[in-house]
Structure formats: structure tokens, C-alpha cells
């Protein structure tokens, strides 16, 4: 019995070490509020991305500059591939929601992009024939204009594109004027890149109050937070995030929080969620679809066609 117990303890220790090594290989290693490890495994370097996030990336060089990411054609935005629906009721501006209402649906959401991992994640979602919602920033991990082709790819694939502010501040600490600037500056980018203004936004850190919601209502936005946090931003290993989903019931009506700006989420957790949803017989849909809203009319206000990239497409 002692040998068996020792073997179990050793096995558990080995698995824990392996999980920690995996997390250290692609996980967070610094940033404001970060309390986890600040070093990476051999072959990876803790690389600054923003004040809020430093990530373990392969090699010793700095991550590829967003200015070197080819943006592709920027004047060929086509209609989203999601089938339009006329049924349902659009929620009013100023609404704050946390979970889905349509039975059998799940709205997987990804924050903080676009970034270098986002495109491949979209490929995984498209290959599986499922939809997700991307809450995008203007300038966090890179400049949104440098990833214009990725923004268009998400939109044209029928995923929902929504706002996550220009630079990811806590909106409850800002004046109404500053909240307005955070949203309207991002709106300008969406109008240029897609020819639409999103109607949905997610406040950074999920932070809202009555004053913030009042300002958002005046700007025509509906707000959403989440009812399940994958913990990817806080150093959860893949196994730890998976466990949070695996313990849910048959129809949890969740709007979970993930981050496509994180390599591990884009390459591992995101694709795994496709398998998880199918195993639960849940349909992965956009945010508006899981709330029973008509699409795309409840998702966007059309402002004209996508623009042609010029000297104003800078952050």
C-alpha cells in the first residue's frame, strides 16, 4: 500500500509540474495586478505586451511588431456568413447582461485582440462551423489598424465583432467624456475597417456602475460581462480552465470569458471549447444569437462600406 500511495503522490506531482511547465511556456509572466510567476521555461522569454500583460514567447527576441503584420486588403469587406434572422427582440441600449437566454446555446467570447494568435483561432472556429464573439480593443497588444485583415476575417466569417474600448481602462474610474472617447475612437476604427459600428461592448474587467451604464446608453451600447471566467488571464493551466467547464450542467447558458490575445487560449483552450460544446449538445453561437436578438441588425449599425487604408489608419 505504501508503494501504491507513493506512486500516486509521485504521479500527481509529475502532472502538476507538467501543467506548470506548460503554463509557463505560453502563459502570463507579468503586468499590472499580476501575482503569478514572472519567469518562463527554457526557450521562452517574458515579453512585454502592455502594462497589463507580459507573455512567455518562444526565443529571446521581442514579439513581432504589429506594424510588420500584413493587414491585407482593407476595402473588400463582404457580408457576414451568419444567416440573418428577423425574429426575436433587440435588447435596448444601456442593457447589462451576463448569461445566455436561449436554451441549448453557448456564446464563447474572446477579449483583448486582435493580436497575432487571433487569425488561427478564427480558422479553428470556421473549420468546426461554429461562431464566437470577439471583443476588440483599439490599441492594447497592437494597433487594430495593423490587424485590419483579422478584424475583417472575424466579421466576414460571421463571428460577432464587438467593442472592448480603445485602450482597456477601468471605465468606472473615468469621466463621461473619457468613456465617450474610449468608445468613439474605437468606433472610428470599426467604421473604417468594416463599415459598421458594433452595438455591443464589454467593459474592461467587467467593471460597471450606474454612471458608466448611463454613458454607454447614451452612446447606443449594450453591455455584457460574463457568468464564467476561464481564468486564462490569471495563469490558469489548460486543465484548470477545462475543469471549470466540465463541472457545468447540461444547459448552463454561459457567456464565458476567454482571451484570444493569449497564445494558449487561441491554440488550445479555444479549440477545446468546440469539442466541449459538442459533447454537451450545445450550439456555439454569437452573443446576440444566444440572447434571441435578430441578426445582424441587433449586432451592428451600418455606417457605409469599408474604407481604403490610408495615412489615417494609425493608432
Give the chain's domains with CATH numbers. Answer: 27-58 (no CATH), 96-302 (3.20.20.370)
Q: Which pLDDT belongs to residue 32?
A: 42
Q: How far apart are CA 119 and CA 150, in angstroms?
A: 6
DSSP alpha helix (H) spans, the chain: 2-26, 118-128, 148-156, 176-193, 210-218, 238-246, 263-264, 270-279, 287-290
Cα end-to-end distance, the chain, whole Å: 64
Q: How far apart are CA 150 and CA 81, in angstroms?
A: 15
Q: Which pLDDT belongs to residue 214?
A: 97
Pairing state of beta strands 196-198 and 300-302?
A: antiparallel
Q: Which pLDDT belongs to residue 183?
A: 98
The DSSP code sequence of 30-99 is E-TT--S-----TTEEEEEEETTEEEEEESSSPPPPGGGS----SS-----SSPP---S-PPPTT-EE-S
Q: Which letter does DSSP use for residue 262 in this model?
A: S
CB of 213 closer than 8 Å to CB of 223: yes
Q: How far apart are CA 191 and CA 79, in angstroms?
A: 14
Q: Is the dihedral of CA 33, 38, 44, 49 positive or negative?
A: positive
Q: How far apart are CA 34 and CA 165, in angstroms?
A: 21
Q: Which pLDDT belongs to residue 71?
A: 34
Q: How far apart are CA 257 and CA 131, in angstroms?
A: 15
- Tell me if residue 259 is catalytic: yes
The active-site residue, picked from 229, 259, 260, 310, is: 259
Q: Which pLDDT belongs to residue 207?
A: 96
pTM, two decimal places: 0.77
Greatest extent of the chain over all pairs of C-alpha atoms, in Å:
72
The active-site residue, picked from 111, 112, 146, 260, is: 111
- Tell me if residue 111 is catalytic: yes
Cell numbers given for 137: 480593443
Q: Which pLDDT belongs to residue 312?
A: 96
Low-confidence residues in the chain, pLDDT < 70: 1-87
Over the range 139-159, which residues count as b (16 or more CB within 10 Å of their CB) and which as e? bbbbbbbbbbbbbbbbbbbbb
Q: Give yes or no for a cis peptide into 200 (omega within 30° of 0).
A: no
Contacts of 272 (CB under 8 A, 6+ apart): 238, 242
CB of 248 closer than 8 Å to CB of 276: no
CB of 171 closer than 8 Å to CB of 204: yes
Q: Is the dihedral of CA 52, 58, 62, 68 positive or negative?
A: negative
Q: Which pLDDT belongs to residue 208?
A: 95
Q: Which pLDDT belongs to residue 41?
A: 56
Which candidate, 241, 277, 276, 247, places its Cα nearest to that of 259? 241
Q: Which pLDDT belongs to residue 182?
A: 98
Which candidate, 192, 194, 166, places its Cα nearest to that of 181? 166
Amino acid at each position: 500500500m505504501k508503494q501504491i500511495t507513493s506512486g500516486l503522490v509521485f504521479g500527481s506531482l509529475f502532472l502538476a509540474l507538467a501543467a506548470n511547465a506548460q503554463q509557463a511556456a505560453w502563459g502570463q509572466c507579468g503586468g499590472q495586478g499580476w501575482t503569478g510567476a514572472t519567469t518562463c521555461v527554457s526557450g521562452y522569454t517574458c515579453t512585454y505586451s502592455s502594462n497589463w500583460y507580459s507573455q512567455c514567447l518562444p526565443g529571446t527576441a521581442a514579439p513581432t511588431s504589429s506594424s510588420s503584420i500584413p493587414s491585407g486588403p482593407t476595402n473588400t469587406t463582404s457580408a457576414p456568413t451568419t444567416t440573418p434572422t428577423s425574429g426575436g427582440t433587440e435588447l435596448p441600449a444601456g442593457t447589462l447582461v451576463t448569461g445566455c437566454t436561449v436554451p441549448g446555446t453557448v456564446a464563447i467570447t474572446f477579449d483583448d485582440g486582435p493580436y497575432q494568435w487571433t487569425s488561427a483561432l478564427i480558422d479553428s472556429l470556421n473549420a468546426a462551423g461554429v461562431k464566437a464573439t470577439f471583443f476588440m480593443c483599439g490599441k492594447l497588444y497592437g494597433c487594430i489598424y495593423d490587424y485590419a485583415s483579422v478584424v475583417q476575417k472575424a466579421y466576414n466569417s460571421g463571428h460577432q465583432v464587438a467593442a472592448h474600448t480603445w485602450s482597456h481602462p477601468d471605465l468606472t474610474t473615468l469621466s463621461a467624456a473619457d468613456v465617450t472617447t474610449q468608445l468613439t475612437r474605437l468606433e472610428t476604427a470599426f467604421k473604417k475597417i468594416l463599415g459598421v459600428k458594433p452595438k455591443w461592448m464589454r467593459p474592461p474587467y467587467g467593471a460597471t456602475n450606474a454612471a458608466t451604464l448611463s454613458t454607454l446608453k447614451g452612446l447606443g451600447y449594450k453591455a455584457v460581462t460574463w457568468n464564467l471566467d476561464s481564468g486564462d488571464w490569471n495563469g490558469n493551466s489548460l486543465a484548470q480552465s477545462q475543469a471549470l467547464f466540465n463541472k457545468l450542467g447540461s444547459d448552463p447558458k454561459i457567456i464565458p470569458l476567454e482571451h484570444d490575445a493569449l497564445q494558449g487560449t487561441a491554440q488550445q483552450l479555444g479549440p477545446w471549447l468546440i469539442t466541449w460544446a459538442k459533447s454537451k449538445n450545445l450550439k456555439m453561437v454569437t452573443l446576440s444569437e444566444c440572447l434571441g436578438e435578430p441578426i445582424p441588425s441587433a449586432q451592428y449599425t451600418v455606417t457605409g462600406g469599408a474604407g481604403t487604408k490610408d495615412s489615417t489608419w494609425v493608432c
